[in-house]
Structure 1
Amino acid sequence: MALGLFAELAAVIIPVLILACIGYYLQKTNQAFDTKALTPLIINFGTPALVVYALLNAEIRLSDLGEMAAISLLMQALFGVIGYVMFKSLGWNIRTYLPVTMLPNNGNLGLPLCLFAFGEEGMALGVAYFAILPLSQFTIGQAIAAGHANLTKLFKNPMIWGLALSLALIQLDISLPQWVMNSLELTGSFTIPLMLVTLGISLAKLHVRSLPRAALIGFIRVFGGIAAGFFFVWLFDLQGVARGVVLIQAAMPSAVFNYLFANLYDNQPEEVAGVIVVSTVICFITLPFLLPWVF
């Protein structure tokens, strides 16, 4: 029994670690890997294809997808309140620390874990949970970091249009031709590996400046997320794959995208980088203990 559980855990965690470590190694050894060229490929083509294929291929009800999205939104709202109250009382810069507390890495890290843990159904539910993140990043997250929102970038995000197309096709019960589905599957298949490799590269570039502060926020992000995940699982009476997906996505560390906005708007990017690195390390240490509760 113990060996069986260990095999299940290894099957989920080790592939993620290997690909992230490959990216980390490439960056540390200064080998050519142009993330600036690959990021548009992932965002503009890979992720939209992955979203459409995962949602249509899994044949999941709109109500289930909506439930995942609602929990994701509630989770972000909860951490927004917790973060605002805490940083306000401590006198810390809200524009710096609130986004990195609110917005987790449900894409680069959460989606592969959902896929390896639960297959296509887990991937589809994970996508529904993740889909709220870009909406929040380009509205609330950017507004906090910059002091104003930029909805133009939100509506230019191909993933949003891919999500809208998927929901419309599901609602209208329209099936795409097989050649389209095959093309979407092939295009989306490179997204997960590249997400993980670029995650490793990003972590190798970031450095921890204030360890105690980064550790505190990282601890709140991961362990607070786990606690909130169990609460929402109980509140929505989730079972099976849906329960597991929420627990995995709730436990994710701070999103790397927070660093890009902090750097863009000069919001202490080195502090944000520290939170991302430390929370990711905490997440990887925690996963082996969390996953037995997920299956």
Structure 2
Amino acid sequence: MLLRILSILFPLFAITAVGFVVGRRLKPDLSHANRLNMDVCTPALVFGALASKEFHLDQYLPLLGAAFLVIAGSGLVGWAVARLAGIDPKTLVPPMMFNNCGNLGLPLAVLAFGADALAPAVVLFTLSNLLQFSFGTWLLDHHARLATAWRSPSVLAAFAGLAVGVAGVALWPPLLVAIRMVGEIAVPLMLLALGVRMAESRITAIGFGVFGAALRPAAGMALAWVAARLIALPPREEALLLVFGALPPAVLNYMLAERYGQEPDKVASMVLIGNLATVVFMPLALAVALGVALPP
């Protein structure tokens, strides 16, 4: 089991470590590469996974419901803890709700559960993205226009892919191969960019960062376990949900906190320490997922 977990996590940590070293030595400006990844590569990945005759949205409705419970429940836990600890809920709640299901979640799903896990992982990623660009943005700024969520390239690609899949349209195979090839760029580039960002970031609010970094996966895994008891899921999807619950905060939380002036230093510390803490929490999550939800 330990060797299997190591073989799953090593590629993720290795690519992120390469990005960290590159960030330290070369200090590259990845702003254009990140924009290209978010506007082209990631939408291609999402579309390619959903625009398939084998993909049927209705079979993932229970997973969507369980994931929504995990996301909403994490937000409620964050709100309650923030009120008790005297923390601004707008600072703690978004990183609690919206995890790194893109940079880490997508490659982790494929490495841990096989290529067939990409479609349900993309479903989780799409749900989280849609909620973050809508409710998450509104939470930081009640005057924000929620219509921006529908203009996100990844969300548009998800709806386009679902439309093609539901309609049963068979895309020309070479076209689908080309789209998927572009999509395959997204995951390693995400991991490299994560490493570079970690090299560039500074940890200031260490206490808050450690506290939030531990609270996020602990609450998420507990809520995922409860959600899986309430909503019956196939074993692989239950395992995927457990890993989803344990993921660290998404880097996008810091970007939005900086944009809306919501204590970005604290959010950056929680995001950075949370992603570093995956060395501790992710092996535990994988052990539970592989040992309980997917017994040998």
Q: Taking structure 2 as the reference length, what is the TM-score of the superposition?
A: 0.92
- Give the aligned partner of residue 275 of structure 2: 280
Which of 5, 18, 22 is matched with 2:18 structurally? 22
State the 4+ residue runs in structure 1 displaced beyond 6 angstroms. Answer: none
Deviations 1:32-89 (A, max 9, x none): 5331101121111111110111223482331233233222222121112111122123
Query: Which region of structure 1 is more displaced relative to structure 2, 139-148 or 274-283?
Result: 139-148
SS at match of 1:105: coil
Q: Say if 2:53 and 2:165, in contact at 8 Å, map to a contact too.
A: no
Q: Residues 290 and 90 of structure 1: is their aligned pair in 2 closer, same or farther, counting only changes over 3 Å?
A: closer
Is 1:196 matched with 2:186? no
Q: Say if 1:218 and 1:282, in contact at 8 Å, map to a contact too.
A: yes
Tell me how far apart the structure 1 counterparts of residues 64 and 252 of structure 2 sit (CA, whole Å).
20
Deviations 1:78-123 (A, max 9, x none): 1121111221232211222221121111111111100111222211
SS at match of 1:74: helix
Paired AA for residue 62 in structure 1:
L
Count of residue pairs the alignment pairs up: 290
Paired AA for residue 21 in structure 1:
A
Paired AA for residue 108 in structure 1:
N
Q: Which runs of 5+ in 1 are unaligned?
A: none
Tell me how far apart the structure 2 counterparts of residues 78 and 58 of structure 1 sit (CA, whole Å).
33
- Give the aligned partner of residue 232 of structure 1: 227
- Give the aligned partner of residue 293 of structure 2: none
Tell me how far apart the structure 2 counterparts of residues 137 and 42 of structure 1 sit (CA, whole Å).
18
Is 1:93 matched with 2:72? no
Which of 118, 132, 139 is matched with 2:134 structurally? 139
SS at match of 1:106: coil
Tell me how far apart the structure 2 counterparts of residues 201 and 137 of structure 1 sit (CA, whole Å).
23
Tell me how far apart the structure 2 counterparts of residues 36 and 153 of structure 1 sit (CA, whole Å).
20
After TM superposition, list the pairs within 5 Å mapping 1:61-80 onto structure 2.
61-80=56-75
Deviations 1:125-144 (A, max 9, x none): 11101111221221121122
- Give the aligned partner of residue 13 of structure 1: 9
- Give the aligned partner of residue 123 of structure 1: 118
- TM-superposed deviation, 1:184: 1.1
- Give the aligned partner of residue 157 of structure 1: 152
Q: Say if 2:62 and 2:232, in contact at 8 Å, map to a contact too.
A: no
Is 1:257 matched with 2:243? no
- Give the aligned partner of residue 47 of structure 2: 52
Q: Say if 1:140 and 1:149, in contact at 8 Å, map to a contact too.
A: no
Q: Taking structure 1 as the reference length, what is the TM-score of the superposition?
A: 0.92
Q: Which runs of 5+ in 2 are unaligned?
A: 291-296
Q: Say if 1:24 and 1:200, in contact at 8 Å, map to a contact too.
A: yes
Paired AA for residue 21 in structure 2:
Y
Paired AA for residue 228 in structure 2:
V
Deviations 1:172-210 (A, max 9, x none): 222211011111111101001001011111222222222
